[in-house]
A and B are shown apart, each in its own frame.
Chain A
Amino acid sequence: MGVRKSNIVFVGLVLLAALTALPAFDGWSMGSRVPAVGMQVEDFQLADLDGKTQSLSQYRGKVVLVNFWATWCKPCTTEMPAMQASFDKLRDKGFVVLAINELEDDARVREHIKQYGHTFPVLMDRNNKVANQFGVFGLPVSVFIDQEGRVQEYIKGGLLTEQMIDDVVAKIQKQEPVRAAALR
């Protein structure tokens, strides 16, 4: 009787481990550490809602707000009007918003974007790879990237306001470009 019970516990522990290993079959599923300010961001490519592939590197030379969101995430959708307002004001002044949707289908996202009239690029991170690249495990997350592809701000939670975005963009655009010691 005692051996049978221990067998059950043994099998149970192995099953528990197997369940934990389940996500490992998803090859993109490794989560990375949060990128530090000043770190060069690795390029990524994602399809937008029109099926066109966009990359982070194509926006080099602009200040990029990379925002991770989902339609079911209330704080995400609450801050999007502020993102839209700043995008409208600053898009011709070297600023772009890339709204990266996590793990949802195109139809639902398209419906949401149409309903709220958002015009910034919406990219679809269907297998969660880019979120893992940025160490994202909660939504929303906003990452401000400068003209040279370095992280300048990493903001968790639905805190963005139009004023805050404008201030961060202005601060980044005012900064002197960093020169390597060898070039001086």
Chain B
Amino acid sequence: MARKRLIVGFILSLATIFFSWPGTQTAQASCGSVSCFVVIGSQQQVPQAGLLTTNTIYNYTPMRLLGGTSGVIPAVLQDQRQMILDHHQETRTITNTLTFDLNYGITDRLGVEVTIPYLWRTHHHIDGLGEAGANGEGEPTTFNANSIGDMTITTKYNLLPTLRSMTVMGFGVQLPTGSTQKKDSVGEVMEPSGQIGRGQVGLIGSLYQTYELIPHRLNEFAFGSYRHTFRNNQGYQFGDEYILNAGLNLVTVPWLVLSAQFNYRYLVHDNVSASLYRSATPADAPDFPGEPVAIDPLIASRQVPNTGSTYFAFSPGFQLSLDGLADSAWTKMTSLYFYSQIPIARDSNGNLAQGTSFIFGLTHSFQMTKPS
């Protein structure tokens, strides 16, 4: 029933969009990291024909335990195809992402975008609950890894744009270019949810719209996307992701735009093809601490507990047009921007939850070919 409502909602949305032509366009000015989804206008729009817009974005995303949650989650051992319930206790994750985004206008309406993230991830947890340590308390484990992440290629089409509005439909393919074999401090392959890459292709549909409420002064924007990732070769499938953003941009002076947006993300739980075990408990004495106990040795498709989440945040920010501040070849078509994403409501199913994150970015445009 829930799925039917989602499908109906999506169809209704598309129908309304197709039968309500947009007004005027704002040529204003998504983030590369999977856990950061602030709308950046220069990324979402379709540039003019022959114009290449580049964004270099640094993103800092911390994840910690919410008060009242234990952080005890299952371990997913990729190579052994095992899921062991209550085997890890999460402490924190910090992800630094540097994203290089290229957005090119093939025609005035059709564009292509390539997003290339590079991630540095640090993760701490206690591994081997019920198994390691004198009293089964586990052992602290760290994970430090960095590499290129999963690249995304998106085709975008600007539906009947005008000077006051823009509606851009996008279809993207996320490629499994990120590593899925990075190891932790004890030499074990880190589980999929902590790896740099997802290990399988993902498909992303998106819709971005913007309308100038007060021309060249105040505009509103909204963005929605849906991502589906296929099951990877280790039997792990990341859950579907739904994102909805909406906000306002205010042009205060020609070189300074203030922005505020709300971000909502709903992540469906992950799924794994694995056998099912549980960590040993004191009730298993004298085999405690000891090896995990088999519940179902058959490799079957199973929902991964403590995955999936709901996240709602407020993201204020600003964009500084260097063009408006200084007249030179270096500052032409160049802007700096900063956003902070502040969580308002979070439900992470007992797992780590995203805290306040920060984005710094630089955008610059190049006219590659003369417009016809």
Residue of B nearest to A22 (CB): B211
Interface size class, chain A: 35 or more
Residue of A nearest to B25 (CB): A137
Cβ–Cβ contact A157 & B48, under 8 A: yes
Task: Return chain B residues, CB-CB under 8 Å to A9.
Answer: 6, 9, 242, 244, 266
Residue of B nearest to A126 (CB): B215
Cβ–Cβ contact B17 & A31, under 8 A: no
The reply to whether the CB of A6 lies closer than 8 angstroms to some CB of chain B is yes
Cβ–Cβ contact A131 & B224, under 8 A: no
Where chain B touches its partner, the secondary structure class is mixed
Q: If A16-B224, A20-B16, A72-B254 touch, does A26 touch B246 (CB 8 Å cutoff)? A: no
Number of interface residues of B (CB under 8 A): 54
Interface residue stretch chosen among B67-75, B145-153, B162-170: B162-170
Cβ–Cβ contact A29 & B24, under 8 A: yes
Residue of B nearest to A3 (CB): B2
Which of B20, B24, B220, B264 sits near A12, CB closer than 8 Å?
A: B264
A44–B343 Cα distance when bound, in Å, is 51
What distance in Å separates the Cβ of B274 from its nearest Cβ neighbour in chain A? 23
The reply to whether the CB of A14 lies closer than 8 angstroms to some CB of chain B is yes
The reply to whether the CB of A139 lies closer than 8 angstroms to some CB of chain B is yes
Cβ–Cβ contact A29 & B21, under 8 A: yes
Task: Return chain B residues, CB-CB under 8 Å to A24.
Answer: 20-23
Which of B1, B10, B25, B165 sits near A13, CB closer than 8 Å?
A: B10
A7–B310 Cα distance when bound, in Å, is 13
Residue of A nearest to B220 (CB): A19
Q: If A16-B222, A24-B20 touch, does A6 touch B167 (CB 8 Å cutoff)? A: no
The reply to whether the CB of A5 lies closer than 8 angstroms to some CB of chain B is yes
Cβ–Cβ contact B9 & A23, under 8 A: no
What distance in Å separates the Cβ of B218 from its nearest Cβ neighbour in chain A? 12
What distance in Å separates the Cβ of A38 from its nearest Cβ neighbour in chain B? 16
Q: If A12-B264, A14-B12, A29-B23 touch, does A102 touch B242 (CB 8 Å cutoff)? A: no
Cβ–Cβ contact A103 & B13, under 8 A: no
Residue of B nearest to A102 (CB): B163
> Residues on A close to B: CB < 8 A?
2-3, 5-24, 26, 29-31, 70, 72, 74, 102-104, 128, 131-132, 136-139, 156-157, 159
